[in-house]
Structure 1
Amino acid sequence: MTEVFDAVYRGESPFGKRPPWDIGAPQPAYVALEKAGLIQGAVLDAGCGTGEDALHLAGLGYAVTGLDLSPTAISVARDKADARGLGAVFEVADALDLTGWEERFDTVIDSGLAHTFEGDRLRAYATALHRACRPGAVAHILSISDRGSAEMQARLAEAIDEIPAPLPDDDESPTLKRSADHLRDGFAEGWTIESIDESLMRGVIPTTSELLDVHAWLGRFRRD
């Protein structure tokens, strides 16, 4: 997966130079969470991409670490931090492992990483986050829903010839189900589920730079 995502960030995919999740600004859901006082202490941005959420929080005075599998994304994020004079730390790391990051963080934000994992891998991700967090830490997981995924897929298919229209689901090649229960199951061990609410995730149509908000889940999980 490293090469797949690194190629996307290098502009070597049907999306062109800008993937649809790289909106050039922080996710509104995380801006609202911070304003509500729900971001505390040392922050991990898991799957940080080019760093906009992490940099937003760093600009507000938080100690933030952004981790991503893509070396290209991390390089871009570091350049942004230098250009803005912000002290956010960005490192290449596998979110399914996080060895070396044990008990570092009080808050986790995740904008669109958890929804890429199926059952066993989502549970492995939750386990890795558990190791990286201090007791009582909170993970805020912004995950696109089935409805939001269909919305985004349809818009991308309209705009980009290489993007296929959604295919019918079948038993031999089932589609990843992005439901609230998917998140509940993934974070069932070692975490207390405080809430899973309907939310919105902002994306961008790469060919037009049009921003759009699609349906998502926002889960809040507290480390036991």
Structure 2
Amino acid sequence: MSTEPRRWQTEADRLANASLEKGDPTGWFEQLYAAGESGAVTMAWDHSEPHSLLADWTNAGAVDGTGKRAVVVGCGLGAGAEHVAGLGFATTGFDLSPTAIRTAKSRNPESSVDFRVADLFELPDDWRRSFDLVVEIYTVQALPRDLREQTVGAVVDLVAPGGALLAIQGVRAPDDDGSGPPWPLTRDEIELFSGSGLRRVALEKLRDAQGFTDWRAEFTRG
């Protein structure tokens, strides 16, 4: 008799807490994706469509990436990166998890996206300030708050002169007890993206297609 795999959210909490106890705040991502690949749990962040707030933003702005470069941070299984590539950008999608990147490639065998295994804190030097569009969705909130400034700074450093950053993060609720994952952001924390020469263009608090309340913030490097 077959049994349904456990929901990945519960396993994420267990793995994250165990990883944090070992002083390794990022080790649980690969463990979670590997558990999904094996069928032990449902696959984490398993979406065939881009985040609704990303799609709405690109549609409303008629974003055209022809002749430009884009990067999707923590791209997971690749839906967001595929959407961005479809706008004409030469797109890189990277994730810390080899399983996530392997799955993204297998699901999109004809993709133009350059899917890479990479650590946000140890990125190639030639990526620094090299992308005309940087998309960051939920990666910052997936890491503990004591890494917030470091994580935001690493994302910001990808934005090229004249480039844009779109950041989508959960809104921290007033009754948030600080336990995670995730660790949603306050207004002050989303404003951290304004550092290192970036200027805020727009900041909205919106309900996404799944019913969650998120920050959607756009920044540019002058």
TM-score tier, shorter chain, comes to: 0.7 to 0.9
Give the counterpart of 2:147 among 108, 111, 121: 121
Q: Which moved more, 1:118-127 or 1:86-95?
A: 118-127
Give the corresponding residue for 1:199. 206
* Structure 1: gaps of 5 or more residues: 151-167, 203-211
Say whether residues 1:18 and 2:43 are aligned partners. Answer: yes
Shift of 1:38: 4.3
Matched, 1:221 2:219: yes
Distance 1:123 1:137 in 2: 21
- In 1, the alpha carbon distance for the partners of 2:166 and 2:188 equals 16
Q: CA deviation at 1:34?
A: 1.5
Distance 1:223 1:119, change over 3 A: farther
Residue equivalent to 1:59: 86
Structure 2: runs of 5+ lacking an equivalent: 1-24
Instruction: Output the amino acid matched with 2:218.
Output: R
Q: CA deviation at 1:186?
A: 4.7
Matched, 1:190 2:197: yes
| Counterpart code for 2:167 | I
- Over residues 139-179 of structure 1, what are the superposed CA-to-partner deviations in whole Å (9 max), with x where a residue is unaligned? 100101124x98xxxxxxxxxxxxxxxxx738xx7994521
2:211 match: secondary structure: strand
CA distance in 2, matches of 1:186, 1:117: 16
The within-5 A match list for 1:78-157 is 78-82=105-109, 85-100=110-125, 101-118=127-144, 121-147=147-173
- SS of 1:96's partner is helix
What displacement does 1:197 show? 0.5
Q: In structure 2, how many angstroms separate the alpha carbons of the residues matched to 1:28 and 1:60? A: 15
Which SS does the other structure have where 2:199 is aligned? strand
In the TM superposition, residue 80 of structure 1 has moved relative to its aligned partner by 2.0
**Structure 2 CA distance for aligned equivalents of residues 136 and 89 of structure 1:** 22
Contact 2:156 2:196 survives alignment (8 Å):
no
Correspondence for 1:169 among 154, 172, 177 = 177
Judge conservation of contact 1:98–1:129 (CA < 8 Å) in 2.
no
Q: 1:215 to 1:39 in 2, by over 3 A?
A: farther
Q: Aligned partners of 2:184 and 2:82: how far apart in 1?
A: 31
User: What CA RMSD, in Å, does the superposition of the two structures yield over aligned residues?
Assistant: 3.0
TM-score by length of 2: 0.74
Query: Structure 1 residues 114, 176: closer, same or farther in 2, change over 3 A?
Result: closer
Kindly indicate whether the alpha-carbon contact (under 8 Å) linking 1:67 and 1:92 is maintained by their aligned counterparts in 2.
yes
User: How many angstroms does 1:216 deviate by?
Assistant: 0.6
Q: TM-score, normalised by structure 1?
A: 0.73
CA contact (8 A) 1:107 1:139 kept: yes
Letter of the 2:100 counterpart: A
Query: Cα gap change, 1:26/1:123 in structure 2, threshold over 3 Å: closer, same or farther?
Result: same
Measure the CA separation in 1 of the matches of 2:137 and 2:208: 8
SS in 2 for 1:10: helix
